A and B are shown apart, each in its own frame.
Chain A
């Protein structure tokens, strides 16, 4: 497979990114459309704006490079790099999750979902509602009942 082949990705807000094919096919979605021959050139990536697409490409590049390296030590470095990569604001993190899901990049989805899980692990339900901007649809009585049933879990 000619790894020096390049493809162009077009973000939802019209920006073009030229990347190596080996990097682009980290996304199963893109890989499939290239193999089916249905990908145009540039390949449009709807739903993912340029800011997020740039981050996703950065992630894929790093992981493709690491896979080539032979040093096992790189594993730890990669883990540290990943940890830094997800130190972003919440909105960006959620956008990354959506992008990883749409583009079908399993390792990125894993990383971002795990980050959110670790973030919310210790929070109270109220904090979690804020994090996910979830509307509390319990009536005050219902909420009281649910809390009471699970009161011991908060101790």
Chain B
């Protein structure tokens, strides 16, 4: 019956399934196992994913101070699916207090005590990268980021490699394809003082929110990018709201589906989220939500409440403090609390569930 189904139809059907299901279906038979493990299949699967709605495949990964990494499936929580389905990934035990560097196409880049690691939380494949041999260690407080360069079909990791004695700014770049590091030097720009932390990967570049000096000694918020193809910094986007009189404070960048996401809080304790799909001075932002946080109790005033995601049903996932997140429903101002575990959560990243393998240089994939 079904064995006479042409191979390309079987592939067509499999390509429509979420990555999580496909990992399970490797057990069905040898033909399916080799199909699903195939590099080209993973690539086609990713392309299909990107052509559709990304939100159902988005998760976020959180790292706690005891080295635990967890995936939070907030859409599943949204469906009222009982207790939070938080999964603790295994297989990366050597990491202690992993720092999350960034994520792209379902691959998450982590920094362990001695090395960078590229990990796919969906397939649980993990590789440790060799360290760069031209610096003692990369500056952890500096910029970092992980993303995809479509022209060279390569995943790149960017880290700050400058020391105080350097005149120019030095960045270390690792190419997954070649498995090696190299460094580039950039003539110093004023804005580099402001750049810090993980860049958000979007549309072929890493993005940060910074302040730049403009006319009359005023400071303006802009979004800067590091283009992974050209390996240069650009000022690419204005911010959605000007920060006027410290009433509005821009908090952070993120990803929502296929869009760049930025959030801010206001003087009267509102949290707002915006998305954009465009680049350039004329780019416009669309307001996704604006919620009144005074409705939320137990606000830890020392912690910046960060909205992480906006679910399909219009609820907002807010990271409240190191131990919990809430799902806030703006329609009736109710929240549901979710404990993030006993580890104090320090960092997070949004990622996609994909089959992309970190072993791009032809390393072992079962």
By a beta-carbon cutoff of 8 Å, the part of chain A in contact with chain B is 91, 94, 97-98, 101, 109, 113-114, 116-117, 120-122, 124-125, 128-129, 131-138, 143, 146-147, 149-150, 152-155
Contacts and interface: CB of A to CB of B under 8 A. Distances in A.
Contacts of A128: 25, 28
B2 A134 contact: yes
B12 interface: yes
Interface of B: 1-3, 5-6, 9, 12-14, 16-18, 20-21, 23-33, 87, 89-90, 124, 366
B24 A129 contact: no
A91 B12 contact: no
Nearest to B19: A153
Given A97-B5, A97-B9, A146-B27, 15 more contacts: A94-B1, A98-B5, A98-B9, A116-B13, A117-B14, A117-B17, A120-B13, A122-B21, A128-B28, A132-B1, A138-B27, A138-B30, A152-B90, A154-B24, A155-B87
B9 A147 contact: no
B1 A113 contact: no
Contacts of B87: 152, 155
Contacts of A98: 5-6, 9
Main secondary structure of the interface of B (DSSP, over half): helix
A101 B27 contact: no
Nearest to A147: B27
Contact of A149 (B1, B5, B366): B366
A12 to B, nearest CB: 15
Contact of A101 (B6, B14, B33): B6
Contacts of A101: 6, 9
Contacts of A117: 13-14, 16-17
B2 to A, nearest CB: 4
Contacts of A155: 87
A109 B8 CA distance: 12
A123 to B, nearest CB: 8
Contacts of B23: 150, 153
Contacts of B16: 113-114, 117
Given A113-B16, A117-B16, A121-B17, A150 B27 contact: yes
Nearest to B18: A121
Contacts of B9: 97-98, 101, 109, 113
Given A101-B6, A113-B9, A133 B1 contact: yes
A132 B27 contact: no
Given A116-B13, A117-B17, A152-B90, A129 B3 contact: no
A138 B28 CA distance: 8
Nearest to A94: B2
Of listed B25, B27, B89, residue having the most chain A CB within 10 A: B27
